[in-house]
Amino acid sequence: MSELTGRLAVFKTYKLYVGGKFPRSESGRVYEVTDSKGTWLANAPLASRKDARDAVVAARKAFGGWSGATAYNRGQILYRVAEMLEGRRDQFVAEVAAAEGLSKAKAAAQVDAAIDRWVWYAGWSDKVAQIAGAANPVAGPYFNLSSPEPTGVVAVLAPQDSSFLGLVSVIAPAIVTGNTAVVVAAEDAPLPALSLAEVLATSDLPGGVVNLLSGRTAELAAPLAAHQDVNAIDLAGADADLAKDLEIAAADNLKRVLRPTPPNWSADPGTGRLLTFLETKTVWHPKGT
């Protein structure tokens, strides 16, 4: 290529996304990312447990503002993410095709489905209270109202088999209700996730709401599962053995745990993931005078 055009190739340095910034790993480590045939694509940062710790601090800091934003505002921002993705569709099609060894048409279908998924979840932001909340009948002169609230910081292990559609399908339901997330990208195909960070950073999503780490899932998941300041963990990207260990570690501070299921990421996602990371607040209000 360079002989033809007379230009030197400009390689992209993939970086982590923590607290709205793009740092390298604290450890300075990187690892080689290859396509499905083993050809080198890029070096991705190999995040350490200290990066995970910093990401949790950033996520906790962002939680107050994000959970306090109106549902309407959060929905608009998620919709904005979809808009930004639409503009960079070709880049993501190329990255997904390389990462998963798909044909261009199949990769395009994945990216389109991912964009649609952002829109689908964006719509849920101001509707989730209607299905998860209720006015409860009680035997007394009270109004009794239950309303869903975000649980806090959610650690998300992104699925290993679907580098982009799967990733979006686990991030969007966690953050749309007001949680903040620390996401560990698919170990062997982190590039679409790291590029998604650039989209998130330019979509009015406050820094720290989504934090993306690339590296060894097992290395990063252990401190996240044991972390006392993480409220929930989504084990989508953990294999059975790892998931068991993580679930034991997560029990120490009673994290909400979403067990891995063999999912079909293309199917209708349903509200399962959305409702997992919610707490129910119940208010008793006296009736009459």
Partner 1 sequence: MTWRYARRYAPLVTMPITVPAYGKEAAGRLASMADVTADDGALRRFLHGLPGVDEVGLQARAATLGTRSIKTTAKAYAIDLAISMIDLTTLEGADTPGKVRALCAKGVHPDPTDRTAPKVAAICVYPDMVATAKEALGDSGIHVASVATAFPAGRAALPVKLADTRDAVAAGADEIDMVIDRGAFLSGRYMDVFEEIKAVKEACARPGGTSRSETGGGSAAHLKVIFETGELQTYDNVRRVSWLAMLAGADFIKTSTGKVAVNATPPVTLLMLEAVRDFHAATGVQVGVKPAGGIRTTKDAIKYLVMVNETLGEPWLTADWFRFGASSLLNDLLMQRQKLSSGRYSGPDYVTVD
Total of residues contacting partner 1 (CB under 8 A): 11
Which residue's CB is nearer to partner 1, number 153 or number 167? 153
- Binding test (CB under 8 A) with partner 1, winner from 60, 216, 256, 259: 60
Q: How far apart are CA 185 and CA 255, in angstroms?
A: 21
CB of 255 to partner 1, least distance (A): 12
- For residue 255, state whether it binds partner 1 (rule: CB under 8 A): no
Smallest gap, in angstroms, from Cβ of residue 256 to partner 1? 15
- In the complex with partner 1, which residue's Cβ is closer, 194 or 230? 230
180 versus 203: smaller Cβ distance to partner 1: 180
Alpha helices by DSSP H, listed for the chain, are 2-5, 49-68, 71-87, 89-100, 104-124, 128-132, 165-176, 191-201, 217-226, 240-251, 272-276
172 touching partner 1, by CB under 8 A: no
Pair 257, 247: CB distance under 8 Å: yes
Strands, sheet with 278-286, edge to edge from the N-terminal-most edge strand? 134-136, 142-150, 278-286
**Minimum distance from CB of 253 to partner 1 (Å)?**
8
Interaction residues for partner 1, span 232-251 (CB under 8 A): 249
Q: Write down the least CB distance from residue 220 to partner 1, Å.
A: 12
Among residues 68, 252, 281, 283, the one that binds partner 1 under rule CB under 8 A: 252
131 or 251: CB nearest partner 1: 251
Binding mask 205-234 for partner 1 (x = CB under 8 A): ------------------x--xxxxx----
Residue with smaller CB distance to partner 1, 126 or 219: 219
Question: What count of Cα atoms within 13 Å lies in the side-chain half-sphere of residue 229?
Answer: 13
In the bound state with partner 1, the residue whose beta carbon lies nearer, of 230 and 233, is 230
Give the closest residue to 210 by CA, choosing from 17, 76, 3. 17
Q: Considering the complex, what minimum distance in angstroms separates the CB of residue 180 from partner 1?
A: 13
Tokens 């993501």 correspond to what residue? 92
Assess 56 for contact with partner 1 (CB under 8 A).
yes
Q: Of residues 53, 88, 216, 256, which one binds partner 1 by CB under 8 A?
A: 53
Give the orientation angle of helix 71-87 with respect to helix 89-100, to 10 degrees. 80
Nearer to partner 1, 192 or 223 (CB): 223
What single letter denotes the amino acid at residue 153?
V
3-state secondary structure of 194: helix
Give the relative orientation of helices 191-201 and 89-100 as an angle to the nearest 10 degrees. Answer: 160
For partner 1, the closer of residues 166 and 223 by Cβ is 223
Within 8 A by CB and 6+ apart from 78, the residues are 118, 119, 121, 122, 125, 172, 175, 176
Q: How far apart are CA 106 and CA 32, in angstroms?
A: 25
Binding site for partner 1 (CB under 8 A): 53, 56, 60, 223, 226-230, 249, 252
